[in-house]
Amino acid sequence: MTTFVLIHGAGDAGWSWHLVEAALRARGHDVVAPDLPSDDDTATYPDYAEVVVKAIGDRTDLVIAGHSLGGFTAPLVADRTGARLIVMVSGMIPRPGESVNDWWGNTGHSDLVYEPAAGDDENAQFYHDVPADLVAGALSRERRQSETPMDKPWPLERWPDVPTRVLIGGDDRFMPEEWSRKVARDRLGVEADAIEGGGHCIPLSRPEEVADYLERYAAE
């Protein structure tokens, strides 16, 4: 039985993975999806990783998935736990010594221009393809993301020696497909898989498809 360790993004909660968790559990897998100390101004990424490692406990056969900013934590957890696979789900891919604040410019994300579509609300860049009830649920659980870890260097000296896959949304308005593919190639030498029409929050909008990919990656 594979244990999927699902790490949420900035200011979010483990709840953001709850539909993927249900899909994976229905297929006989175990799932860990803890809340990170995102609103704790004393916490840095090693502290985030410690929360996840404690939640894993003595579980084995681990697949670590990081969504969005969770990409800065997922490799730290994999490095500490002997995980057999890392999956970046619309995840930020760091380089050794790089801070989040530097990541935006280093990857060219700072140069991207978001043009809202007609009728878009303020949440459309992230949630345009997410059903309204799930958007409401996500926003009700939204937490302040502390700035404390943002200028801290990513602490690993190299990417963990763990196979890594990249899954993105084909209609991600925050991390567009072609830009995401380039970052995955440049930083990991990996060709990303895209869920057609999926936005940035595919764990909420396309949970069955995300679960399909996670299970397939684990089987490979």
On average, the pLDDT of the chain sits at: 96
Contacts of 43 (CB under 8 A, 6+ apart): 36, 37, 146, 148, 149
Q: Report d(CA 123, CA 102) in Å as an integer.
A: 25
Residue 118, pLDDT above cutoff 80: no
* Global pTM value: 0.96
Residue 59, pLDDT above cutoff 80: yes
Quote the domain boundaries for residue 183.
3-219
Interval 126-146: pLDDT, tens: 999 999 999 999 999 999 999
Domain count within the chain: 1
> Tell me, what's the pLDDT at 178?
97
pLDDT band (50, 70, 90) for residue 200: very high
Contacts of 174 (CB under 8 A, 6+ apart): 90, 114, 125, 126, 199, 200
Instruction: Residue 146: give its domain's CATH number.
Output: 3.40.50.1820
> Tell me, what's the pLDDT at 68?
98
